[in-house]
Amino acid sequence: MRSYHNLAEHLQYLEEKGMLIRVKREINKETELHPLVRWQYRGGIPEAQRKAFLFENVIDSKGEKYSMPVSVAALAGNPDIYAAGMQCKVEDIGDVWRRAMSSPIKPVLVEKGAVQDVVYMGEELTREGGGFDLFPVPISTPGFDNAPYTTCTHWITKDPDTGIQNMGNYRGHIKGRNRIGVFPCGLGQDIFVHWQKCRERGIPLQAALVVGAPPVVSYAAVQKVPYGVDELAVAGGLAGEPLELVKCKTVDIEVPAEAEIVFEGLIRTDVMEPEGPFGESHGYMHPRQLNPFMEISCITHRQNPVWVSFISQVTPSESSVIKKVGYEPRFLDYLKLTLGIKSVTRVVMHEPLTNLRKVIVVQMKQPKEVDVWRALHASAVYNQGVGKIVIAVDEDIDPENMDSVMWAMSYRMKPHQDVDIIKGMVKGHAPPFSGASDSQDVAVQADPANESSLLINAILKEPFPPVSLPKREYMENAKKIWEELGLPPITPQAPWYGYSLGQWDAELEEEAELALRGEHYRTGDKLAARQVKV
């Protein structure tokens, strides 16, 4: 008996914990669904108060009603929701990922799975009301997207040389009842490598598109793992047990037995067609370009399935949270364990608007200067398009708080001494998009190495005066009084108390103690004895 949750069990758990909102009123999937959820990311709602949504009465702009509900933000609406899907505490997420990456667990093949309770083939895929007509796929960026796009959709393909499956999460442009475009996010993705190998052989690429997988599968699908590592084995590592898979009906692909929906088919390798535009996580509309597409040969789903959609586009979003909580521990392990920079204590990928990739803050504890620069340079080349701006800060600086980071940059670094620029970088998944304008169709191509990275050493180089806030014990006492008075709840923002940074001696400490006891005249008398003529 499996112990990892499928989607239904996960949603039930979220509801029991007060993290799920059921929306029973009629909601238009084209114009209302994503904008409603968007407000919890653009409406000033604190991260901890963001929820998962389950829309139970979905219609489209033509008045079509769907029996199938739609869930949004149910996998990573906030870190607590993500942790619920991992079935662990938030503070243990990093350890679970380390276990999964070091000890992946190979999945097992089973004869039957709920995902194949209902099967559609042949004319059922192309008739009116069939194929994609069955599914309430929402429009993510109303007013700009040119179609509904699948977002929480895990594409599974197989390396024709090794037979090893790969799973990645890519958007899907719905173009017909049995046709969907795929955006492989650039030349470095495994699915594109598989596509190129099949093109060289003159054969199509077999594929399966999975919707509503068990949460651990979704978390593995968005993670960056080395080429040749099966993400479903990583998902097993997250679960602590093998994932159960079933064989697809029409293609040689194995899919999670507990998923909600699977689309099977062939990705053509002899032709491509225009795909996009779509609102992307870098915060801009990604322009139309020539991309592969899949022709559906079979659709299977469980009884009473739920359609799952990621909310992405401008960050923060569910899409950025699901990456951030998994990427950061891996980034830390890379610097601290793989490269042996022991002074690194934390890596934070800045989320609001910048989409994790561009601004990286590396927190360090009493590092040697050589290790600071090693960490900065290594961060800039960790992954394509990651680390356009990399900042090293001390342990007392909150890397999640850009006000705190800017404070360190303002006083702990000198631009002419503590800044380096690396040329010859590539921008990765981000604008500007050369050669693309309006509806021009551009074939996917490698980015030129015309970008650069800015490295900033904002580590303390010498002793500083204390932080000019009351010492911790006085702030803690004042917090108790604040709460006794029934004042609005407060969330301490670092720095919220004063502490020494080295430029503070015993005499100054004694004078401060005298002031606390009301004996500051003693200090005044002492200072009077030190008068000098001017």
CA nearest 286: which of 132, 196, 151, 157?
A: 151
Quote the pTM value: 0.88
Amino acid at 86: M
CA nearest 229: which of 330, 100, 354?
A: 100
Location of each CATH 2.30.110.10 domain in the chain: 7-309
What class has domain 339-457?
alpha beta
Location of each CATH 3.40.1670.10 domain in the chain: 339-457
Contact 72, 34 (CB under 8 A): yes
- Between β-strands 244-247 and 254-256, what pairing exists: parallel, antiparallel or unpaired? antiparallel
For the chain, 534 residues long, give each residue's pLDDT as a single digit of tens: 789 999 999 999 999 999 999 999 999 999 999 999 999 999 989 999 999 999 999 999 999 999 999 999 999 999 999 999 999 999 999 999 999 999 999 999 999 999 999 999 999 999 999 999 999 999 999 998 999 999 999 999 999 999 999 999 999 999 999 999 998 765 557 898 999 999 999 999 999 999 999 999 999 999 888 888 899 999 999 999 999 999 999 999 999 999 999 999 999 999 999 888 888 878 788 888 898 999 999 999 999 999 999 988 888 889 888 889 888 999 999 999 999 999 999 999 999 898 888 999 999 999 999 999 999 999 999 887 788 999 999 999 999 999 999 999 999 999 999 999 999 888 776 777 765 555 555 555 556 777 899 999 999 999 999 999 899 999 999 999 999 999 999 989 889 999 999 999 999 999 999 999 999 999 999 999 999 999
Strand order in the sheet with 254-256: 108-109, 244-247, 254-256
Classify domain 7-309 at the CATH superfamily level. Answer: Electron Transport, Fmn-binding Protein; Chain A (2.30.110.10)
Peptide bond into 277 cis (omega under 30): yes
475 is written with which tokens? Answer: 């702030």
Distance between CA atoms of residues 13 and 7, nearest Å: 10
Angle among Cα 419, 375, 430 to the nearest 5 degrees reads: 75
For helices 93-102 and 318-333, give the axis angle rounded to 10 degrees. 60
